[in-house]
Chains A and B, each alone.
Chain A
Amino acid sequence: MTLVERVERLAGMAEEPFSSAMTDLVGEMSNAILADPETKVVPQYVALAYWMRAAAVKRLAKDFLASIPDDEVLAPRGVALHLPPTNVDTIFVYSWALSALAGNANLVRLPATLSPQAQSLLRVVSDTLAEAGQAERHLFCTYEYGGEIEREICRRVDLRIIWGGDAKVESVSQIPIRPDGLTIGFPDRQSMTLISAQAYDSADDGACDDLATRLFNDAYWFDQMGCSSPRLLVWLGDDRECRDDLYVRLEQVIRQKNYSADPAVGMAKLGLANDFLAEAVATSAQRYSNELQVAEVEEPQAALLRTTGGGFFGDVHVESLDEVRNFVGRKVQTITHFGFGRNELVKLARSIAGVGGYRIVPVGEALQFETTWDGVPLLSHMTRRIVVRA
């Protein structure tokens, strides 16, 4: 059977959202990821499994169902096509899992080449689906962009979710899906971290080390190339000692975790630091190691636009939270924070509301998957409603 024929067959396979069979399956997949010797050692996959665990899925279902008005009945959209990014190799599971819970039949298009790590995750996912007899309803495959196959697939699709940047969203969106279908695109985003120098200064050693570890996880998983990976550190208050202290601790975490960047990436970071200096985007730059390069920037907007990944941070200080608005643009996604209270954060959210920003979450949660992504409540978009009045 060809891929297009298999997609054709998906059309009748959507089911009621949050069926117990599906919530059980997602929970089983979580167990399988934590049991498999290859996947259970990858921190990103452990985080994924944690998010998918039975109790979490049940709560997710309960909360979402509670938000549905009494005179509306929830229905799946039908056939969902997921186009995950090539670099963040857990998105394909998050995107699939939400859509599967929403009752959709799914087609996940994977890159032609997967890292050995991603292959192990895919194996656990496929095995779990096969054991549950769900392999026909959830296809994980690859096909070429821009060809007849893509057109044939797209015209049978009710929901298309495009992860992976401006160019990809734009070019994929040109292929029509079903006339009543819905496309959601997640384009280029950049993220930053906001730290209160005063809070850092009064934090004890343990808290500072903990912050460095959480910053490491946010930045270095996915080599700092995720949309949510922080690339700019914004300090409220000018305290050079705090800044250097945090980078020294971060450098220690990098050593502990044995993170290593390719020397060519190190050279790219050195090159970017020199470019920033030459262009007066930065006033000073320091190379802590091949894995950590920091540039003290004067033009945070410019610094947000360019990165090499692999441990390159722009560093800037502001005197008041109101200044943050000046360099939050449309492309800014996640602002992770340390040392702020809820009221300050809500005030910040209001001040940037008209310009950009989609999440303001504690340092350490940058990569945590949310059901509201880039401002889009995913479950609402992955389902439809039937209005019922007696």
Chain B
Amino acid sequence: MIPQLEEALAVPPYSLEPGARELLLIGGLGELTQMHYERCLPYRRIIDGYWKGRTGFNRLDDIPYLPVSIFKTQLMQSVANSEVKLTLTSSGTTSQAVSRVPLDAESSSIQQRALASSLRHVLGCERLPMLVIDTEEVFKNPKLMSARGAGVLGLMRYGRSHSFALSPTLEPDIETIKRFLHQLEGRPFFMFGFTFLVWTSFYEKLRDKGLDLSAGVLIHSGGWKKMAERAVGNAEFRAALEEAFGVKRIHNFYGMVEQIGSIFLEGPDGLLYPPNFADVIIRDPRSLEPLPNGSTGLVQLLSLLPHSYPGHSILTEDLGVVESESDGVDGWAGKGIRIEGRLPRSELRGCSDVIGMAA
């Protein structure tokens, strides 16, 4: 593990103020760029061919980035095949191609350690009883063992005495929920689910059942696209859950498999905060030049975690804006970000139109 990451993990997870974070990241990301340059041939070709071979930098926004699509089209791997412990995959909803992220033993433990450190910030040091707002089928049924199953399984590690709030048909299992709450006798607990499921299968079906979840911390993720169709934004989501169940501690998070373990957690102001070992640069979608805080653009994700594949600097197709940047309010330092959805897709069509599309 590179020393800069050790340093970032040694202090409270969202505590590094912008100046110190930038210094740490410039050093660490430079080191990772050099390391992957030496170990990953396709990456070296890209650095040589697109970035003039540069691997040393003075500024964060000089650090080379890969377009996120490359994890779908190429196998980007910086360790020998025999070292790969598992290859994570995720399928985007709009594309059949799947991202592939190879992890060796070290990277796998790095990402777990980093994720644990981030989650401790909102869950505390002790593992809490956990109510999974999903069905147990999600990882028992191989057909469902997709990004959702992997996500649930990944988060379950940070809770104990798990109960599943939904039936295989995604209906609320009210008996299980009541039994779970009864056993707790008011002690704190942890809930996790995908945003859309939390809303449609949990909140909408249970809002008038008088459940008291005020001792719980809810962590949810999965994007707002489907929620936007229902005209539910983050503020509405928080207000509704508090009113129905008394749950106040709600944290959305943003992350992607291409930077597994690096999660931006929602602070009390509703903004998403990158952990100490990560950051974002917002870039103009046309010029790809960095934009000042307050402007919406493409989100470039920086993270010190990826050691087994060159995913430490990725230009995503998500749009976002840095709303604030501070030395720390209530333990949340750095950039406060809002994600505003994806770059609208647009594909140019050739003469060779497929009949189905040509209709």
Contact = CB atoms under 8 A, between A and B. Distances in A.
Given A266-B286, A279-B42, A165 B353 contact: yes
Contacts of B353: 85-87, 164-165, 168
Contacts of B298: 263, 267
A277 interface: yes
A167 B346 CA distance: 22
B69 interface: yes
Contacts of B210: none
A52 to B, nearest CB: 21
Nearest to A224: B348
Contact of A144 (B45, B46, B359): B359
B288 interface: yes
A223 B49 contact: no
Interface residues of B, number: 37
Interface string A212-256: 000000000001111100000000000000000000000000000
Contacts of A167: 352, 354-355
A180 interface: no
A360 interface: no
A225 B348 contact: yes
A278 B42 CA distance: 4
A263 B54 CA distance: 26
Interface in A82-98: 85-88
A277 B74 CA distance: 11
Contact of B355 (A168, A273, A284, A286): A168
B343 A171 contact: no
A188 B349 CA distance: 12
B80 to A, nearest CB: 18
Contacts of B350: 87, 165, 188, 225-227, 307, 309
B358 interface: yes
A270 B43 CA distance: 14
Given A271-B73, A285-B50, A264 B355 contact: no
Interface in A162-199: 163-168, 171-172, 186-189
Given A85-B353, A263-B343, A309-B350, A275 B286 contact: no
B346 A171 contact: no
A274 B46 contact: yes
Contacts of B351: 85, 87-88, 163-165, 186, 188-189, 225-227
A384 B317 CA distance: 55
Nearest to B297: A263
A280 interface: yes
Interface of A is mostly: mixed
A164 B355 CA distance: 9
A9 interface: no
Interface string B269-311: 0000000000000000111100000000010000000000000
Interface string A105-139: 00000011000000000000000000000000000
Interface in A247-302: 262-268, 270-271, 273-275, 277-280, 282-287, 289-290, 296
B346 A262 contact: yes
Contacts of B67: 267, 270-271, 274
A86 B354 CA distance: 10
A351 interface: no
A287 B287 CA distance: 10
A111 B358 contact: yes
Contacts of B46: 274, 277-278
Contacts of A265: 346-348
Interface in A13-71: none
A188 B352 contact: yes
A310 interface: yes
B344 interface: yes
Contact of B69 (A145, A262, A267, A296): A267
A377 B348 CA distance: 30
Contacts of A266: 285-286
B343 A264 contact: yes
A164 B350 CA distance: 8
Contact of A278 (B45, B344, B357): B45
Given A86-B358, A278-B45, A283-B49, A168 B352 contact: yes
Given A85-B353, A271-B70, A274-B70, A280 B45 contact: yes
Contacts of B76: 278
B345 interface: yes
A308 B346 CA distance: 11
Contacts of B257: none
Nearest to B73: A275
A375 interface: no
B66 interface: yes
B359 A264 contact: no
A354 interface: no
A280 B45 CA distance: 7
Contacts of B43: 278
A300 B145 CA distance: 41
B348 A308 contact: yes
Interface in B47-68: 48-50, 66-67
Given A264-B317, A264-B343, A290 B286 contact: yes
Interface in A288-344: 289-290, 296, 307-310
Contact of A86 (B285, B287, B346, B349): B349
B74 A278 contact: yes
Contacts of B69: 267-268, 271, 274
21 contacts: A87-B350, A87-B353, A88-B351, A145-B355, A164-B352, A164-B353, A166-B352, A167-B352, A189-B351, A264-B344, A268-B69, A274-B46, A274-B70, A275-B73, A275-B74, A279-B74, A282-B49, A283-B45, A289-B286, A290-B285, A290-B287
- Which 4 pairs show the lowest CB-CB distances between chains A and B? A165-B352, A278-B42, A263-B285, A309-B348
Given A88-B351, A274-B67, A277-B45, 9 more contacts: A85-B353, A85-B358, A87-B349, A172-B355, A189-B351, A223-B348, A267-B69, A285-B50, A296-B49
